[in-house]
Amino acid sequence: MKKNNTSGEIPSLKEMSTFRTKVLRWFNRNGRKYPWRDTTDPFRVLIAEMMLRRTKADQVKPVYEQLFKEFPDVEALADAENQKIEKILYPLGLKWRTPAFGLVVRELKEKYHCRVPDKREELKKLPGVGEYVAGAVLSVGYGKKEWIVDSNIVRVFKRYFGIETSKEGRRDRHVIEMAKMYVSCKNPGKANLAILDFAALVCMPKNPGCGKCPLKKECVYVSGRLT
């Protein structure tokens, strides 16, 4: 793939594999530790992703732990009173979360017999579950080679590979194809977590840590060929 790519061309499998290997190597040393990363329970992954929406992970951690201490599974949460859930979720703000949780867990109990669906299209039918959350649940909770894309991942791809994107880059076909290629590995859930942490801790929107970046030798952004 040519650097400073403006044609929507995607990198080769070899280029993506090299990129992923370096990101995972960095993640093994520097990845963040959170309780929802210590489980492969799809339900706990789903709830964590709903909590993390527009909310910092450090703020979510105590709320996540309290919620599952009180209500350890789908059935317990589905049968819980809204007031109790609302009290636990209160520190996170965003009042839509309490009714959203109620809708999701009741549907899981009534329609799926307390089991989280293991297919993207089924997951997306759950209230408040879109492409990103579905991909996270499937890759982390089920170990499936399912992609995720958000603005952070778009930024990393754009900088490193020199691709052009639209304003809504996470919807671009070539970006999604790159995400699918990136996650075609032995441990897709770990790979997805790795690139998210890399975007948060190294390849930040402002003042990225290019000097300490393990990818800087091949990065189009660092080389100055990306404006």
0.85 surpassed by pTM: yes
Write the pLDDT tens digit of every residue in 3-43: 444 445 789 999 999 999 999 999 999 999 999 999 999 99
d(C-alpha 37, C-alpha 193), whole Å: 9
First-to-last alpha carbon distance for the chain, in angstroms, is: 18
Residue closest to 112 by CA, chosen among 45, 64, 43: 43
Q: Where are the domains of the chain?
A: 13-32+146-223, 41-141
Write the pLDDT tens digit of every residue in 153-209: 999 999 999 999 998 899 999 999 999 999 999 999 999 999 999 999 999 999 999
218 in active site? no
SS3 of residue 188 by DSSP: helix
d(C-alpha 188, C-alpha 137), whole Å: 11
Question: Which residue of the set 15, 49, 146, 168 is catalytic?
Answer: 49
The top-level CATH class assigned to 41-141 is mainly alpha
Helix and strand numbers, DSSP H then E, in the chain: 12, 0
Q: What is the CATH number of domain 13-32+146-223?
A: 1.10.1670.10
In contact, 134 and 144? CB cutoff 8 Å: no
